Amino acid sequence: MLGKTISEIEVSQASNKGFWLLLGDEELFVSYDEFPWFKKATMEQISSIEWPTPDHLYWPLMDIDLSVESIRNPGKFPLVSRQIN
């Protein structure tokens, strides 16, 4: 079963540095430095968010999936990319 909300989720504030997520009774900051995919996103795209499981967030308008743990501890999940030839 996909897309069933397990609790309340809300984007509470946004700035030029990132945005705050309220996940139930927990508040987390999503930094654009740590999560650059959101930097050019609109508020509509950022605010359209699903919380299908306790450790899974999904932004359908951007097709972005993130682990809640990666927001809590971004240092444990370094961004890695490589050029494909």
- Within 10 angstroms of residue 18's Cβ, the number of other Cβ atoms is 19
Give the span between the Cα atoms of 15 and 4, in whole angstroms.
29
State pLDDT tens for residues 48-83: 999 999 999 999 999 999 999 999 998 887 766 555
Does residue 4 belong to any structural domain of this protein? no
- How many degrees, rounded to 5, is the angle at CA 79 between CA 22 and CA 51? 30
Domain limits at 65? Answer: 9-76
Does residue 48 belong to any structural domain of this protein? yes
φ/ψ of 21, rounded to 5, equals: -110, 135
State pLDDT tens for residues 28-52: 999 999 999 999 999 999 999 999 9
| Total count of domains within the chain | 1
Which CATH number fits the domain that encloses residue 37?
Answer: 3.30.2020
Does residue 81 belong to any structural domain of this protein? no
